[in-house]
Structure 1
Amino acid sequence: MNSYINLSSVLPLVAVLVLTFSLYKYLVENFDYWEKRQIKFLKPVPFFGNFSKAFLQQKGIGFLLAEFYNQVQERFFGIFVLSEPVLVIRDPELIKQVLIKDFQHFADRSNLEDESIDNISADFLFFSKYKKWKILRSKQSPIFSSGKLRCMFLKMETVVKDMEFYINSKMSTNLCNLDVKELCNRYSTDVLALCIFGMKGASFENGHSKFYDIEKRIFGFSLLNDFRLFGHTTAKSFIKLTRLKLLDSTVMKFLRQTIGSQIEKREQNHLENNDFLDILVELKRMGNVRGLMFDQDRVVALSGQFIVAGYETVSTTLCFALYELSLNQEAQQKLRDELRDAVTEENGLDYETIHKLPYLDQVVKETLRKYPVLPYLDRCCTKEYRIPGSDLVLQPGSIIYIPMFGLHYDKNYFPDPNKFIPERFSEENKSSFPASAYVPFGIGPRVCIGERFALNATKLAIAQLLLDYHLEKCNETPIHVEFKARGITLMPTKKLIINFTKISQAAY
C-alpha cells in the first residue's frame, strides 16, 4: 500500500520533469544551427533566443538589433528569434544584392500572415506572399501615380489649414507650447481619412473623432497591443499559438461600416473623388481579378493596410522633423529662407514647388535616418541561395534581417550619427555613404508603395508650418529623446513639447 502511495505521488512529478525537459529540448534543439554552418552568431538563451530584452520590454527591437550590429563586425552573422535562426546582414553591398539584384530569391517577407488566423491582414501588401502581392500591388499602384498624388496634395492642404486653425486656437499672445507628437498624430489621421476614405477625419475639431479614436486603438500602448504588433511583425509562432488578429473587433467593425457605406454612396451616385476609395470601388465592381476575388473583406483589408502603415509613417516623421528643427535654429532658418524664396518665385507653395526644394528634402531624409519608422527590414528566402563571397547556402524558409538603426547610426557611413545634419544628403555629400546603407522605406521591388504619398504629406506640413510659425524648444522640451522599450514604432518616453510662435512675433 505504501509503495503504491509513494509511486502515485511521484508520477506527477516525473511527468512534469519529462514535459519540462521535452520543452527545453524543443526550444534549444536549433541553437546549434549557425555553429554547424560555421557562421559567427550571438549566444541565445532558451525560449527567447537573442530577443529576451525585446520580449521583456527592456529594449526596443530596433535598438536591440543595433546593439547586435555593433557587437559583430562581420558582413553578416546569426541570431535567434525564439528558436528561429535569423541571418542579420550588415554589409550594404550584400543588402543591395539581396533586395534588388537577387530579389527572386527573397521575394517574400518573413512575417507572412496565415489566412486561417487573420484573413484581413493576410491581404496587406506587407504580409502577402509574392504571387498575391504582385496582383494586389499592380491594382493599387495607380492611386500613387503623379496625377493622383497631385489631386491628393490639394486634400492635404485643407488638413494643414485645419491644423493651423487648431494651433492658433491654443495660442495666447501669439504663442503656445504643444505636444508635437499628438499634433502630428491628428494631422496624419485626417490626411488618411480624406485621401483614403474621402471623409473628413475631424481630429482637430472639438469633440469626438472616430478616426482618431480608431488610430489610437490600433497604436495605443497596452500589453495586448504590444503582443499583437510584435507577434504579427516578428514572432509568428506566438500568433499561431494565440491566434490573435492584428486588428481587433472594434477596429474591424469601424472599417467594415465606414468602407461599406462610402462605397455604397459612390456606387449609387456614380461619384469619383481622386482618392483610394475610387480604386476600391472599381476592384469591387470587377470582382475576380487574376484569380483573386475582391469581396467585402478584401476591400476592407486594402483600406486597413493604409490606416496601419500610413499613420505612423507620416506622424512619426513629421513629429521628429519639427522637434529637430526646434532644437536646430540654424537649420530651421535655412529651410525657412528656402521656402520663402520658393513662394516668391513660384507665387505659392504647390505640388510642383514642394518637389523643387533640396533643403526640405535633406531635412526629411535626415529625420528618417535618425528616426526610421521601421526598426528593421526582413525577407524570407524563397529559392536556394549562396551568400556571395561565402560558403553559406540559405535554404527556402531562411529568414534575414536588415537592422535599420544599426546602419543609420554607423559612424563609417554617417559621422556624428547622433547629430541632426541635413547636409549629409546634399548633392555634394550623398556619395559619401553607400546608397543601401540608408533604407527607411526599403529598396527593390518590395519598396513601400506609399513612400511618395507619405513624403508629400510630411513635406507639405513642414513647409507650411515653418512659413507661419517659429519653432523653439521650451522648458519642457527634452534635449535627448528616450524611447519606450515596447511596441514596434518609436514612442518617446516623455512628451515632445515645443513652442510655436506666429511668425510675425518671432525674433530672429
Structure 2
Amino acid sequence: MIILLIWVVVLIAVVVLYLKQVYSTFSRHGIKHFKPVPILGNMGKVVFRQHHYACDFINLYNSFPEERFVGRFEFLTESVMIRDIELVKKITVKDFEHFLDHRTFGENTFFARTLFFLKGQEWKDMRSTLSPVFTSSKIRLMVPFMVEVGDQMILSLKKKIKDSEGGYVDIECKDLTTRYANDVIASCAFGLKVDSHTDEDNQFYAMGKTATTFNFRQMLMFFLLINAPQLVKFFKYDMISEPIKKFFRSLVLDTMKDRDLHNVIRPDMIHLLMEAKKGQLSHEDVKPNDEAAGFATVEESAVGQKDLNRVWKDDDLVAQAFLFFVAGFESISSTMTFLLYELAVNPEVQERLAKEVREYDNNNGGKFDFNSIQNMTYMDMVVSELLRRWPPAVAMDRMCNKDYNMGKPNEKAEKDFILRKGCGIQIPTFAFHHDPKFFPNPEKFDPERFSEENKHKINPLAYMPFGFGPRNCIGSRFALCELKVMTYQILRHMELSPCERTCIPAQLATDNLNLRLKGGHWLRFRLRM
C-alpha cells in the first residue's frame, strides 16, 4: 500500500512538473496570456460551453490592448495570437515562406489531402492546379445552375406560404440555406440535379449533413486532431467516416469515367478537375477591375498563377471535390443564414436592397445572369458588411516552419521574442472585425461602411473575411457570387421579418464550433407585394 502511494505521489509530481514546463514559455519571455488550467489550457470556457469559440478570441484580444501579440494555450499546445495588423501582413505576405502551412490535421487522413491542409510544395502545386477553376469566366458559366436551384427554393417557399393559414411561414433558415447550398454544390460541382426542398432526405443531402454536423463531441475531436496529431496517427482516427469517403470517391470517379466514356462536357467543377488532371486548365489574368470582384474579393497570388504539369492521383482530386462540398455545404450556408437574419432585423436595409433588386429586374426584363448581380452597388455593400459582422472563419492559423523573430511584444519590452519552429500562430479575424478602432460601433450592421464615400476609411489590413496572402480562400469569387444570387432571388419574391422565435439581440450558441444563433435561425417569410 505504501509503495503504491509512493508511486502515485511520484506520478502526480511528474505530471505537475511537466505541466509547469509546458505552461511556462510565455511567462519566461514576458508574453501576456491568461493563466492556463491544467490539461485544458485556456480552453475551459469553450469546453464547458460557457461561451463561443469566437468570444474566446475577442476576450483575449480585448484584455491586452497594449500588446502586439499574446499567448494562448489550446489544451497543452501553445500558440501566439497576433493583435498587430502590420504584423499580420508581414506574416501572411512578406514572410509567407516562414508560415507556409496550416496546423497538421492528422497525417494520412482524408482531410489532410485537401488543399486547406496540404503542406509545402504539395500545397503550392495543388493551389496552382486549382486556381484556374475559380476565375470569373468559369463562375459565370455556373450562375444558371445557381439560379435553377434558387427557383426550386422559391417554388417550395411559395407552396408553404400558400398552404399556411396566415399568409406567412416561419422558417429555420439554417435548414433552408443548407438545402440551397447543398443543391448548388451538387449542380455546380458534381453535375447532379437535386431538389432538397422537395426530396428532403435525398442521399446527397443526407451524406452532406452527416459529414458537416459539428456537435460537441466532434468539436472536441477536432481539437484533438489539431493539437495531438501523434495520438491521431497512433489510433488511425479520421473525422470522415468510411461510408462518406466511399460515397464521394464513387461519385467523383464514376462521374469522371462516365463523362470520359460518353464525351460529356458540362461547365462544372468535375469537368474542371478532369481538365486539371490532364493539365489543360490555363491561368487567366485577373484584371484590377475584374467584374466579379466585390470589396471582399481576394486576389490570387503568384503562387496560384504558376503553370504546372504535375499529375495528381485520383484520391487527391476526390479530396479537393470533397473540400469544395464541405465549404459550399457548411461555410456558405452559414454565411447566408446570417445575411437573411440581418436583413430581417434591419428592415431599412432590406427595403433598400429589395428596391435595387426590383430596379435591376425591371431594367433587364426579368432576365437574370452573372452581370445582374456584379453591378449591384448596394448588394455588394450589404454582403461586404455581412462578412465583416459574421466572417466565415473565426480565426486563421499558421505554423511556423523555421525560427522567426516576432519583435517586441509591446513598447516596454526589452527583448524580441523568437517564435520557434513548430509553434502555431492565430490571427483573430472575428476580433479584428469587431474592434471599434477599425470599425466604429462594430455590433451595428451598417452597409454604409462600404459605400463609395466611406470605404476608403477602412483599413484593408483589418478586413479579412477570406484571409490574407497566398494562402487566402481560393473560392472567394464563387462564395460571393452564390451569396448574391440567393439574396437576389429571395428578395425578388419574399419579405423577411423576425418572428417569436428569432434571437434578438444576436447571441451565439455555445454548443457548436461553427457560428450559430442561440435557439436557431428562425425568420418569417411573406410574399413580397
TM exceeding 0.5: yes
Shift of 1:292: 6.2
Supply the RMSD in Å over aligned alpha carbons.
Answer: 2.2
The alpha carbon displacement at 1:213 in A equals 0.9
2:31 counterpart (24, 39, 55): 39
Equivalent residue number for residue 2 of structure 2: 10
Contact 1:230 1:487 in 2 (8 A): no
Show the counterpart of 1:251. 244
How many residue pairs match? The answer is 492
In the other structure, the counterpart of 2:197 is 204
The gaps in structure 1 that reach 5 residues or longer are: 1-8
Matched with 1:6 is none
Gap change, CA 1:234 and 1:474, over 3 Å in 2:
farther
TM-aligned CA deviation for residue 345 of structure 1 = 3.2
Structure 1 segment 308-327 matched on structure 2, within 5 A = 308-327=326-345
Structure 2 length normalisation: TM-score?
0.88
Instruction: Please identify, of 217-226 and 363-372, the stretch whose mean Cα deviation from structure 2 is larger.
Output: 217-226
Distance 1:356 1:30, change over 3 A: same
Query: In the aligned structure 1, how far is the partner of 2:245 from the partner of 2:154?
Result: 31
Q: Deviations over 1:167-202 (max 9, x none)?
A: 112113643221111100101111111111111233
Residue 295 of structure 1: aligned partner: 313
For the residues of structure 1 that align with 2:346 and 2:368, how far apart are their CA atoms? Answer: 23
Identity of matched residues, %: 34
2:137 maps to 147
Aligned to 1:352: 371
Structure 2 counterpart of 1:211, one-letter code:
F
Residue 343 (structure 1) aligned to one of 340, 356, 361:
361
Whole-Å separation in 2 of the counterparts to 1:228 and 1:476: 31
Contact 2:508–2:518 (CA<8 Å) still a contact in 1?
yes
* Contact 2:140 2:370 (8 Å CA) reproduced: yes
User: Which of 319, 324, 328 is 1:306 aligned to?
Assistant: 324
1:293 deviates by 5.5
User: In the alignment, is the contact (CA less than 8 A) between 1:228 and 1:245 conserved in 2?
Assistant: no
C-alpha distance after superposition, 1:252-290 (max 9, x if no partner): 121122122212211211212111111333455579x97
- Paired with 1:108 and 1:26, the residues of 2 have a C-alpha distance of 28
- 1:52 paired with 2:44, answer yes
How many Å separate the matches in 1 of 2:522 and 2:260? 45
Instruction: Tell me, in whole angstroms, the C-alpha distance in 2 between the residues paired with 1:420 and 1:371.
Output: 10
Select the residue among 253, 265, 273 that pairs with 1:260: 253
SS at match of 2:525: strand
Alpha-carbon contact 1:342-1:353 (below 8 Å) kept: yes
> The residue matched to 1:274 in structure 2 has which SS?
coil
Question: What's the counterpart of residue 123 of structure 1?
Answer: 113
Hey, what's the Cα distance between the residues in 1 that align with 2:15 and 2:221?
24
SS where residue 439 of structure 1 aligns? coil
**Counterparts of 1:149-298 in structure 2 under 5 Å?**
149-171=139-161, 172=164, 174-233=167-226, 236=229, 239-240=232-233, 242-284=235-277, 294-298=312-316
Q: Which amino acid aligns with 2:142?
A: M
Q: What CA distance in whole angstroms lies between the structure 2 residues aligned with 1:296 and 1:242?
A: 26
Shift of 1:450: 0.8
Give the superposition deviation at 1:333.
0.8
Matched, 1:482 2:472: no
Q: Is the 8 A contact 1:483 1:493 kept in 2?
A: yes
Distance in 1 between the 2:170 and 2:379 partners? 24
> In the aligned structure 2, how far is the partner of 1:294 from the partner of 1:181?
36
What TM-score, normalized to structure 1?
A: 0.91
1:382-415, Cα deviation, whole Å (9 max, x unpaired): 2332225661222222211111221111111122
CA separation in 2, counterparts of 1:253 and 1:269?
24
CA distance in 1, matches of 2:380, 2:308: 39
Say whether the 8 Å CA contact 2:358–2:492 is kept in structure 1: yes
Q: 1:269 to 1:460 in 2, by over 3 A?
A: same
Query: Mean alpha-carbon deviation: is it higher for 248-257 or for 480-489?
Result: 480-489
Tell me if the contact between 1:141 and 1:449 (Cα under 8 Å) persists in the aligned partners.
Answer: yes
Q: Secondary structure at the match of 2:148?
A: helix
Unpaired runs of 5+ residues, structure 2, are: 281-306, 410-415
